[in-house]
Amino acid sequence: MLGNYEEFKKAVYQLIKLDLNAYKERQMKRRIDALITKHKITSYTDFIQEIKQNTVLLDEFVNYLTINVSEFYRNPDQWKVLEEEIFPQLLKANGKSLKIWSAACSTGDEPYSLVMCLSKFVPLSNIKVIATDIDKQIIEKAKKGEYNEKYIKGIPQEYLTKYFNKIDDKTYRISDEIKRCVEFYRHDLLKDPYPEGCHIIICRNVMIYFTEEAKTEIYKKFNESLKKDCYLFVGSTEQIIQAQELGFKSHKSFFYRKL
C-alpha cells in the first residue's frame, strides 16, 4: 500500500490543479501506482515531495496521466462523413472561415488531419484550427509535426505526397503550410474557459477516462461553445447518453448537432 489515495488526490490538485476525482478511479489509480512503483518510491507522500522538486518527473507524471494515443485519419469512415457531409454543410451555412476546435489533441495528428481534409474545400489561408491538450510536452511534440511512419498509414496518398517530407527511414515531417493553420495551447477541459462560437468541436477517445459527472459537465460546456446547428465529433468508443437533455441531437454515429 502506498498510503491514502484521497489525500494524494488533494495534494495533486494543490500542486498542479489537476482534479483526479473527475477520472475513473480504478484505472487512474492503477496507472499512478505503476508509475510510482517504477521509480521505486514507496508512498504517495514521498512521490508528492519528489515531483515538487523534480520537474522532469512532474512532466512524466502529467504525461502518464493523459493517455496519448493518436494517429492520422483514425477511423476513416468517420472522416468520410466529415468530408462528404459535415464540412460541406457547415461551409454552405457559415461561409469559408469555420472555427474549429480540436480538444485533447494529443500529438497533433487530429488537427493536422482536419486542416488537410478542409483544404479540399477552401484555401489553407482560410483555415485555422484551435488545438488544445492538458499536456505541455505533448503540445511541444505536436508543434514539431514529426511522426513515425506507423502513425501516418491512414493518410490519403494525395496528402502524404503533398504535405509530408521524409526526414529519415521511418520519420516524416508535416509541411510548414499545414502547421501554420493550427494554433496550439494548453487547456484543461475540467477547469479552463472554452473557446466560443465554434462550428465544430472534435474531442475523441478522451471522455472514456472521465466519470459520468465530469462527462456531463464537459458536454454541457461543449454545447455552450458551439453555434446553433453546429457539431461535436466524438470517438468511436463514445456515445452521449441522453444527448437531447444536454442540447444535442445525434446526427450520425459519433456526430452530434447542437439544437
Predicted confidence at residue 57, as pLDDT, reads: 86
Identify the residue whose cell numbers are 437531447.
244
Q: Encode pLDDT of 6-15 as tens digits.
A: 888 888 888 8
To the nearest 10 degrees (0 to 180), the angle between helices 25-38 and 5-16 is: 80
How big, in percent rounded to 5, are the helix, strand and coil portions of the chain? 50, 20, 30
CA angle centred on 47, ends 45 and 49, rounded to 5°: 75
Contact 164, 152 (CB under 8 A): yes
Which part of the chain is CATH 3.40.50.150? 76-258
Q: Encode pLDDT of 8-56 as tens digits.
A: 888 888 887 778 887 778 878 888 888 888 888 888 888 888 888 888 8
Q: In this structure, what C-alpha cell is assigned to residue 197?
A: 462560437
Buried b (16+ CB within 10 A) or exposed e, 164-184: beeeeeeebbbeeebbebbeb
Predicted confidence at residue 74, as pLDDT, reads: 66
In the chain the first and final C-alpha atoms are separated, in Å, by: 49
Can you list the residues of the chain whose pLDDT is less than 50? none
Q: Under DSSP, is residue 218 helix (H, G, I), strand (E, B) or coil? A: helix
Give me Rg for the CA atoms of the chain. 19
pTM of the model: 0.78
DSSP alpha helices (H): ranges in the chain? 5-16, 25-38, 44-53, 55-65, 76-81, 87-94, 109-118, 136-144, 157-163, 176-179, 212-225
Contact 129, 106 (CB under 8 A): no
Identify the residue whose cell numbers are 462560437.
197
Could you count the other beta carbons within 10 Å of the beta carbon of residue 242? 9
Predicted confidence at residue 85, as pLDDT, reads: 94
Predicted confidence at residue 253, as pLDDT, reads: 79
CA 132 vs CA 27, 94, 246: distances in Å: 24, 23, 23
Strand partners, 233: 202, 255
Decide if domain 76-258 falls under CATH 1.10.760.10. Answer: no
Beta-carbon contacts of 119 under 8 Å, excluding residues fewer than 6 positions away, are: 127
Distance CA 201, CA 36 (A): 35
